[in-house]
Amino acid sequence: MPMKRRLTNSRFSLRPIAIRMAATTVLFSLLVASADAASSPRRVMVRDITSIEGVRDNLLVGYGLVVGLTGTGDTQQTLFTVQTLTNAMQKMGVLISPSMVVVKNVAAVFVTAKLPPFARPGVTLDVTVSSVGDARSLVGGVLLMSALHGPDGQVYAEAQGPLVMGGYLAGNGANGKMVNATTVGVIPNGGIVERYTAVDLSAFKTVALLLRNPDFTTAGVIANAINAEFRKPIAAALDSRRVNVDVADASASSVPELIARIQNLPVTVETPAKIVVNERTGTIVMGGDVTLSPVSVIHGNLSIQVTTRYDVSQPLFPGTMAPGGGNGRGAGAGAEAGTVSGGQTVVVPETTVNVNDQPAQSLRLDEGANVEELVSGLHAIGATARDVVAILQAIKAEGGMQAELEVQ
């Protein structure tokens, strides 16, 4: 008869718990605290919730080379790096064939930056450098002068300088270790503005305030605050995002002075009833104004555990010595003891399935229940953050939640 030997046990769960109860308790506590703080109207400055139309950043992008790497640059298969290096050398008066270029210490990169409003020639910018080839690391590299273009194709800045990295790469292959990203770096003040892009505020006949979070109530509050400050109707809310201010009626000495006076006005902002859910991370953020209609929640856990045990089965041949003594010529127990394993070893899996269906937990919420009661109740019945996501979606579909539910 075959002889079996247990090798190992391998277990896996069909429904793993992604967030443990202790972490869930901390998360729920933070949500309740933030919800209580947001339940009352907030008093903020106009500058914190609006921006000025026409006064904004502009995106810049360029292409260049990072040199001085220690063998971690692009490989010969990255043809555009070879071509770029060849063209750069030709501009320096050095004529070489692309077949002779070795680029292991060079990497092709994209250079990006933001051009702030009212930027004038000579203003410095922070630039970000990102590898576009197969370079393993940009640590220790220096960006050669690269032109940064705007959406219209014009050159607005030039960038150059050594990279500051937030990670490192040590070793090679299976014995290497990488911490954070090594193919993206930053050059503080590495860009210099070369083109005048400042907006002429003196030509503004109307100052348009754009709300970062569109809301008709907030737009009306801002317009009323401006009119009360200047004691005349110079502002009007056009829609949920835009508030126009007439420059001529304001009788201000300059447009910058008018904008500064408006931005320093305090206004009261009502927080909308909204719940933001991120299903990928199990994060839930709920406003304090969220209210619930009478609703009952029944929550249960069904877990299935599959245990696989691998046994080794070896055929036994009579008449030979086996561990335990005997010569294999006796009868009964002696004959069994006198056998020895031989032939081909076979691994036989033995699988056991255990199903654990826990009793359902129930939660009852009365009319006007708030976020704290909901979170405390869900925590009491053992719901994790990911469970709460599904429960909130079900409550919203049933019509028991008087708030906007945004699922990211």
Tally of CA atoms within 13 A in the half-sphere of 346 that contains its CB? 10
Beta strands in 56-170 (DSSP E): 58-67, 106-115, 124-131, 142-149, 155-162, 164-165, 168-170
Count of H-run helices and E-run strands, the chain = 9, 25
Residue 39's pLDDT is what? 46
Indicate if the pLDDT at residue 6 is higher than 50: no
Indicate if the pLDDT at residue 103 is higher than 90: no
Residue 353, beta-bridge partner list = 306
* Range 10-18 contact pairs with CB under 8 angstroms and sequence separation of 24 or more: 10/307, 10/308, 10/310, 11/305, 11/306, 11/307, 11/308, 12/306, 13/303, 13/304, 13/305, 14/303, 14/304, 14/305, 14/306, 15/302, 15/303, 15/304, 17/384, 18/282, 18/384, 18/385, 18/386
* Digit-coded pLDDT (tens) for 361-408: 666 666 666 666 776 777 777 777 677 777 777 877 877 777 788 877
Quote the longest CA-to-CA distance of the chain: 119
Residue 132's pLDDT is what? 93
Of 389 and 185, the one with more pLDDT: 185
Give mean pLDDT, residues 49-67: 93
| 171 DSSP 8-state letter | S
Among the ranges given (86-90, 185-189, 195-199, 369-373), the one the predictor scored with the smallest mean pLDDT = 369-373
Tell me how far apart the alpha carbons of residues 167 and 180 are, in angstroms, rounded to a whole number.
Answer: 5
**Strands 295-299, 361-365: parallel, antiparallel or unpaired by DSSP?**
antiparallel
Which listed CATH number (3.30.1360, 1.10.8, 3.40.390, 1.20.120) goes with 44-53+200-269? 3.30.1360
Amino acid sitting at position 233 = P
- pTM for the complete prediction? 0.64
Residue 244's pLDDT is what? 95
Give mean pLDDT, residues 217-238: 94
Give mean pLDDT, residues 265-270: 90
Give span(s): CATH 3.30.1360, the chain.
Answer: 44-53+200-269
Give mean pLDDT, residues 9-14: 36
Residue 317's pLDDT is what? 55
Of 195 and 282, the one with more pLDDT: 195
Give mean pLDDT, residues 106-121: 94
CA 276 to mean position of chain CA atoms: 15
Of 300 and 64, the one with more pLDDT: 64
Instruction: Give residue 18's pLDDT band: very low, low, confident or very high (50, 70, 90).
Output: very low
Whether the Cβ atoms of residue 141 and residue 95 lie closer than 8 Å to each other:
no
Give mean pLDDT, residues 83-104: 84
Give mean pLDDT, residues 117-138: 92
Of residues 378, 53, 382, 42, the one with CA closest to residue 208: 53
Indicate if the pLDDT at residue 11 is higher than 60: no
Tell me how far apart the alpha carbons of residues 192 and 195 are, in angstroms, rounded to a whole number.
Answer: 9
Whether the Cβ atoms of residue 407 and residue 279 lie closer than 8 Å to each other:
yes
DSSP string, 81-107: HHHHHHHHHHHTT----GGG---TTEE
Q: Residue 395: phi, psi to the nearest 5?
A: -65, -40
Instruction: Give residue 266's pLDDT band: very low, low, confident or very high (50, 70, 90).
Output: very high
Among the ranges given (149-153, 172-176, 219-223, 280-284), the one the predictor scored with the smallest mean pLDDT = 172-176
Percent of the chain with pLDDT over 70: 68
* Digit-coded pLDDT (tens) for 303-345: 555 566 767 666 655 555 545 544 444 444 444 444 445 556 7
Among the ranges given (235-239, 255-259, 352-356), the one the predictor scored with the smallest mean pLDDT = 352-356
Of residues 271, 287, 234, 316, the one with CA closest to residue 49: 271
For residue 278, count CB atoms less than 10 angstroms from its CB and return exposed for 0-12, middle for 13-18, buried for 19 or more: middle
Give mean pLDDT, residues 106-128: 94
Q: Which helix (H) or strand (E) holds 256?
A: helix 255-263
Give mean pLDDT, residues 43-63: 93
At 213, list the tokens. 């979070």
Give mean pLDDT, residues 107-130: 94
Residue that is written with structure tokens 């070369």 in the block: 194
Residue 286's pLDDT is what? 75
